[in-house]
Each structure stands twice: as structure tokens, then as C-alpha cells.
Amino acid sequence: MNTYLDYKEHCKKIYDIYMSASVLNWDQETHMPKNGNKFRAQQLSTLAKIAYELSTDIKFGKLLEKLNSDDSLNFDQKRNIELSYNDFKKKLKYSTKFVERQSLLTSRAFQDWRIAKENNDFNIFKNSLSDLIDLRKEECELIGYKNHPYDVLLDKYEPKLMTSEVDIIFNDVKDKLVPFIDKISKNNIIDDKFFYQFFDKKKQWDFGIELLKQMGYDFDSGRQDISAHPFSTHFSPQDCRVTTRIDENNLSDMIWSCIHEGGHALYEQGLLKENYGLPLGDSISLGIHESQSRLWENHVGRSIHYWKKNYGLLKSYFPEKLKNVDYKQFYNACNNVKSSLIRTNADELTYHLHVMIRYEIEKAIIEESLNVDDLPSTWNRLYKEYLNIDVPSDSQGVLQDIHWSHGSFGYFPTYTLGSFYAAQFFDKASKDITDIDSKIENGETKTLLDWLRKNIHKNGKRYDASELCKKVTGETLNFKYFMDYAKNKYTKIYDL
């Protein structure tokens, strides 16, 4: 190996293995029979080991070192090498045994979490979770950190983000968003009971497919399935899949999971296929990824313009259930701000309190000021403190999210980060696109998708998240855009 072409081919080989493992993970969460877990864990562990060995191959490292000082490469080529070389050096800090152990632990933990949730018993999951936490603490020490061990975990999902920066973000939430939520709660007279009738599963599914198509989701390069926890995944820009959850007694579950996961998938479908396997063919960060799902879910999907177009379509599926509800009532109900138990069902404002709770718990666990045995009681206490909600069960409380069963500590803050990026991006798109509201009202979202493809999707990892935000909007992330958006929208809804 001694050329840039050799580098590309080696990267594609590694990526092929990771994507093959992703197919197995997708199957594990959608179609795999219960008894398949043992061998699936073994299969995933084997693939993880092979990918790690290829990623840390000495010849590959020497090639990266050589190309890293090659001035003949263009900007994109240099960026690919820079990111790959940084990743190579970081991976060398791990061992093959660590990678294998991680794969086995996460496969076991996922099954334990699923059984624990079904049986409403945190103790079933406790030991696996404790092992994963120990693994993450070990990882923090392996990688090393200057300020806080949690920085290492954040960096996996939002490169260069510091714990101190997340603290500032949630201080803004506490100081500015929480008082606004309190103000809304005193004026909340919205009736959303019509959401909680019986809505046929097949009809919900068909309506969700219509919404995905309208967004521009390419079903020739993707598909939708059912899962316990909605998610999106990808194996290439031409195979980006989504899942949804359908509750026949709660229409909102399906609607928001379809639009949200569809936003993620549109990002993946917008990456340039010629960069497959290279850093520039991958998304920047989970914060930017979440900005795409939140932009579609909230700024488009919860807007009055969107439902002027789509409420008639929804009503054609459920004419009897919605016969006494007009589109304005439906729009208001879509934006009902109220405390709730489940993060994924939360409105776009209180949602950030759910994320803040998880962040505080994760940070405390990594700091070792909280142990696993006390996790359920701490969870319940924080839900009472921040959302004034009594948690009735483990399944609806500490077991509600899948993330910890994957070992994904450091992930949750990117949800809030993504919402704030989304507000800033949508503000800029609204200035660049003539009559964007009218276009959405007419079901014409292609112009918005084209804007996102041009400004965000096609770049891959060409820029860091903060740098991209500045290039697109003229400034780095600014909480003001989200707060202005929230005040403008909800002041009208609640006549504040």
C-alpha cells in the first residue's frame, strides 16, 4: 500500500465489514427470532474483530502517515486522510480483546434490556448495564482526557464537544426554556384526547408511507419496518432504512417516528455515493444528524402549513375518528406542551428536560457519584423534580430507552444539540427559500430537501459540526434561534 487509491480501497473494505454488521444489527432489532441471539452475538463479535484488525493494520498506518504529509492531495483528499489518521491513532489505544468484549457485551445487554423491559424489572438488566458502564470507564482511561472523562464519550458522537459546553447548553435550558414552559403550562387548555382513540394499524402504516414519500424519501433506496424503538440505519446511500412504532391507541406515535426517522434517512441518502467508505461519505456528527430529523419533525411536521396540506389526507384514512376535529385543532394538539413519561412521545419543548435528566445521570455514573443500584430511584427523583411526574414502572422509566443497552453513553446530549442546530438551519433556509411556508402548505418540500442536500448532506465530514454551522448560517451554534422559534410559535398557539 503506497498510494491514495490503495487508501480508498482499504477504507472501503473496512466499511463493508461495518455495514455488514449493521445489517445484522438491523435484523436483530426487527426480524431475528429470540433464540438467534447467542450466535448473532458471536457473528457480530467476529466482524468487529476483523474490522478492528484491518483498521489498525501497521501497513495501513504507515500509508496514512505518508499521505498525511503529501502536499499533492487536494482539500477533500487531505480531509479524508486527516480524519482517517486521527481515527487510526485512536483505535490503536484499544485492543482486539476490548473490541471483542464490547461486541459480546452489547449483544448480551440488548437481550437483557429487552427482557427486562417486557418484565418491567430493572434487575434483569442491571448486571449487563454495570458491565457496560465499567467498559466505558475503562475506555475513558484508554483514550485519555484533559478535563472530564465524559469528554471521551461525547467525542464518539459529537467530535470535539466538551462536557463543559454541554453544561452551558443545559444551563440555557434551565434559565430560559424552563420558565417559558412554566408560562405555557399555566395557559394550557389544548384538548388532544382525539389522538388516543383506536386507529387501525394498517391504515396508520399506509399514512406514514405517504408522509415519507412526500418528504422525498426514496423507497428504491430504503424501506420501513416495525421495531420496539424507532430508529434509522444505513448500509450505503442507496440502502437507508427506517423503522416506526405503531400504537393503535395513540396516533401520534407513528406520525412523529415516521417523520423523525425519515429525516435521518434523507441525510444518509444525500451523502455522495462516490465517497462510500471514506470520511467524506459519512455524516459529521449525531448532533448534525439529529438536526435533520428534528428539522423535518418539528419545523416542518409540526407546522400549521404542513397540516393545512396533510390533515385532509389523514382524515381520509380516519373520517369517523376525526370528523369533529378541524386542522387548526389538530395542529394545536400536535404542539401540546405538557409533561410526559416517555422521551420519544414528548413535545418539542419538554423533550429537552428528558434529555437533561439522562445527561445528568450519565455524567454522575462516569464521575462515580452515582452507582447502578441507585439508578432507578435517581431517575424517578429527577422526573419528579424536572417534569413533576411520578414514574409508575421501570419499563416506563429507566428502561424506556434502548441506548444504554448498546453502550451508547454520551449519545443523549446530541438530541438537544440537534434541535438547536435545526432551528438555526431552518431559520437560514427560510431566508434563502422564497415562500417556504407556501411551498410546505402545497406539499412541495423538494426545494427544502435540495437546500439541505446542497448545504449539509453532500459535505459528509468535509467540515466539523461547528465549522459547518458557521459556513451555512454565518455563526456557530446559538441557542437564541431555538428560543426565538419557540416563543414565536407557542406565544401564538397559547395566546401568551
Pick from 416, 417, 425, 352: which is nearest to 387 by CA? 352
Bridge partners of 225, per DSSP, are 243
Strand partners, 240: 234
pLDDT at 229 over 90: no
Sign of CA dihedral 170, 172, 176, 179: positive
Cα distance between residue 201 and residue 331, in whole Å = 22
The label of the residue with cell 425519515 reads 262
Task: Choose the weakest-confidence range: 182-191, 295-304, 348-357, 480-489.
Answer: 182-191
Q: Is residue 99 part of a domain?
A: yes
- In the predicted structure, residue 454 carries a pLDDT above the cut 80: yes
CA distance 42 to 33: 15
| pLDDT tens figures, 50-60 | 999 999 999 99
Look at residue 295 in the predicted model and tell me its pLDDT. Answer: 98
Instruction: Quote the pLDDT of residue 412.
Output: 97
Model confidence at 105, pLDDT cuts 50, 70, 90, reads: very high
Domain boundary, last residue among 83, 115, 144: 144
Instruction: State the DSSP string of 44-65.
Output: HHHHHHHHHHHHT-HHHHHHHH
Strands (E), 137-238: 224-226, 232-236
In a domain, 152, yes or no: no
Examine the domain organization and report whether 464 and 328 are in the same domain.
Answer: yes
pLDDT tens-digit series, residues 108-142: 999 999 999 999 999 999 999 999 999 999 999 99
Residue 96 binned pLDDT confidence (cut-offs 50, 70, 90): confident
The enclosing H or E element of 241 equals strand 239-244
CATH number of the domain within which 311 lies = 1.10.1370.30
**pLDDT tens-digit series, residues 9-38:** 999 999 999 999 999 998 988 889 989 988
Q: Largest alpha-carbon pair distance within the chain? A: 70
Summarize pLDDT for 459-482 with one digit per residue, the tens.
Answer: 999 999 999 999 999 999 999 999
Rounded mean pLDDT of 331-344? 94
pLDDT tens figures, 155-171? 999 999 999 999 999 99
Res 1 pLDDT > 80: no
Alpha carbons 385 and 381: distance in angstroms, whole number: 6
What does each C-alpha distance from 134 to 92, 127, 131, 140, 366 come to in angstroms?
Answer: 20, 11, 5, 10, 9
Query: Is 149 inside a domain boundary?
Result: no
- 449 with 419, same domain? yes
Region 353-371: mean pLDDT is: 97
Q: What is the mean pLDDT of the chain?
A: 95
137 and 207 fall within a common domain: no
H runs (alpha helix) in 216-302: 251-269, 286-294
Question: Whole domain around residue 58: which residue ranges?
Answer: 4-144
Beta bridge partners of 241: 233
Is residue 24 located within the same domain as residue 55?
A: yes
- 158 inside domain: no
246 and 134 in a common domain: no
- Of the candidates 88, 112, 144, which is a domain's last residue? 144
Residues 350 and 288 occupy one common structural domain? yes
How many degrees, rounded to 5, is the angle at CA 101 between CA 91 and CA 12? 45
81-88: long-range pairs with CB below 8 Å, 24+: 81/4, 81/7, 83/279, 83/461, 84/7, 84/11, 84/278, 84/279, 87/55, 87/279, 88/55, 88/56, 88/60, 88/61, 88/64
In this predicted structure, what is the pLDDT of residue 41?
A: 85
Checking if the pLDDT of 81 tops 90, the result is yes
Q: Return d(Cα 400, Cα 341) in angstroms, integer.
A: 9
Residues 261 and 216 grouped into a single domain: yes
Q: 155 in a domain, yes or no?
A: no
Q: Is 251 in the same domain as 330?
A: yes
Secondary element (H or E) of residue 296? none
Q: What is the mean pLDDT of residues 419-433?
A: 98
Residues 66 and 175 in one domain: no
Which among 153, 53, 139 has a CA at the least distance from the CA of 96?
Answer: 53
| Between 194 and 99, residue with greater pLDDT | 194
Final residue of a domain: which of 93, 117, 144? 144
> 338 with 436, same domain?
yes
Q: How many domains does the chain have?
A: 2
Q: CB within 8 A of 148, min separation 6: which ones?
A: 162, 163, 164, 367
Q: Write down the pTM of the prediction.
A: 0.92
Q: What SS3 string covers 455-473?
A: HCHHHCCCCCHHHHHHHHH
Average pLDDT of span 358-362: 98
Residue 379 has pLDDT above 80, yes or no: yes
361-365: average pLDDT:
97
Residues 230 and 363 both lie in one domain: yes
Average pLDDT, stretch 284-313? Answer: 97
Does residue 101 belong to any structural domain of this protein?
Answer: yes
Write down the pLDDT at residue 38: 84
Residue 189 lies inside a defined structural domain of this protein: yes
- 158, 261, 290, 348: the active-site residue: 261
* Whether residue 9 is found in the same domain as residue 121: yes
Q: Is 444 a catalytic residue?
A: no
Predicted confidence at residue 496, as pLDDT, reads 84
Q: In which band, very low, low, confident or very high, does the pLDDT at 344 lie, cut at 50, 70 and 90?
A: confident
Confidence (pLDDT) at 2: 81
How far is Cα 247 from Cα 97, in angstroms, rounded to an integer? 41
Confidence tier at 330 by pLDDT (50, 70, 90):
very high
Share of the chain above pLDDT 90, in %: 91
Are 310 and 487 a contacting pair, CB within 8 Å?
no
Tell me, yes or no, whether 180 lies in a domain: yes
State residue 107's pLDDT score. 87
What was the pLDDT predicted at 491?
96
Residue range 206-223: mean pLDDT, rounded: 97
